[in-house]
A and B are shown apart, each in its own frame.
Chain A
Amino acid sequence: MREVIHGVVRDEDGRRVEAARVFFASGPVPLPDVAALTAADGTFQLTAPVPGRYSLMCVLDDGRSETRSIEVIRGGGALVEFEMPADR
């Protein structure tokens, strides 16, 4: 039973970020090597093939990146928010 991970990417000022790249960095099973681009409202949905612990990575065009570890629950999916750090 596949689960949907819903998420949003925001910058350091809380503004939603469009076209951020989000993808699985690790998970409990082999995962397709595609990456999602966030929509104009900063949101994305990724599909987790099975429940379990996943690591998601978000990368912006300016090189900033963040990684989040989440637990995908059977029948419940997961929610994740990326708050990108300020540009150095």
Chain B
Amino acid sequence: MTEYAETEDPHTSVASEPEELVKPIEEEGPSEDPSTGEAPDVEAGAGEVEEVEGLRSVEAVAAETAPDTSGLEDIGVASFGPTAEAILGRDDRIQIHNTSAYPWRVHSSLLITAADGSLWIGTGWFISPRTLITAGHCVFIKNSGVPGRDGWVRSIRVMPGRNGSTLPYGSATSTAFRSVTGWTSSGNHNYDYGAIILPTNLGSTVGWFGFGVYSDSQLVGSTVNISGYPGDKPAGTQWYHSNRVTAVTATKVYYVIDTMGGQSGSAVYQIRDGGRYAVAVHAYGGATANHGTRINREVFDNLSTWKA
């Protein structure tokens, strides 16, 4: 018979996720308001989605993507399949052509130079005159396995409202970044978010998004929007899609919105009373839903601190 030491209780509960990651967020928290910027040409927000020609309604997309559970496989395949695909069903992304207008000019194409000189593309969005938010892995590379690549990136060229080869607001290059130890030390996907601090007040011209902490009940089933710079489309073009939030955890928001490589860092945002408010930072393409880092109270506080 196995004997246990006094300190080794065989009934000690263990969890796959730390308590703070599964605790529901039941109350709405603080929020920061958006700004449309000094440049003209502002598209007022109305309803839950942007008014973009050709956009399929959320209901139409939801009806076509309703899951058929009849063929579910054993949970054992969860670790190795079905494959994680960033385009979920039909590709419903719509190209944005008037990127010089608000809100589209808030979204910025990023050209990232990593520590080893390798080049990458991503997306960021303004929260203040000099600060953009993006994914943590856009500003700090973790566990790449490539010599000299890990750590803070060397620089990021920020191109707000880029439309192909056209840069309606020029560009600014940053060498100042922010993130959190959950990402930089641990490489934990639950803390994959960061910021870019610009040397110029480009955000004063293009405007910025608000952001806030919202409860689980406010998010699940709600409509969110993503616009960014995917690598599978013509270089430097901005593409938009919207759909519902399918699930949340304390640190992640899941949605059936099509994304591809290059859209990491995009704002996952809602339109509330005509204003755009981010609720998450897009980071990963997944099997049945893509997901981003949720703006919970801790993330909100850091974003607020990083505003410049």
Contact = CB atoms under 8 A, between A and B. Distances in A.
Nearest to A5: B145
A82 interface: no
A24 B121 contact: no
Contacts of B260: 23, 25, 33, 35, 57
B145 A23 contact: no
Contact of A21 (B259, B261, B287): B261
Contacts of B143: 2, 47
Contacts of B135: 32-34
Nearest to B141: A47
B118 A39 contact: yes
A45 B86 contact: no
Interface residues of B, number: 45
Nearest to B261: A23
For the side of the interface on A, what is the size category? 20 to 34
B251 to A, nearest CB: 13
A28 B79 contact: yes
Dominant SS at the B interface?
loop
Interface in B122-149: 122, 135, 137-138, 143-146, 149
Contacts of B192: 32
Contacts of B264: 32-34
B142 to A, nearest CB: 9
B285 interface: yes
A27 B145 contact: no
A86 B290 CA distance: 33
Contacts of B235: 21, 61
5 contacts: A24-B86, A25-B232, A35-B261, A36-B120, A61-B234
Interface of A: 2-4, 19, 21-37, 39, 44-45, 47, 52-53, 55, 57, 59, 61, 63, 65, 77
Given A32-B192, A32-B264, A34-B135, 18 more contacts: A2-B145, A19-B119, A22-B261, A23-B232, A24-B261, A26-B84, A28-B81, A28-B84, A29-B79, A30-B284, A33-B122, A34-B261, A35-B121, A37-B118, A37-B121, A47-B145, A47-B146, A61-B235
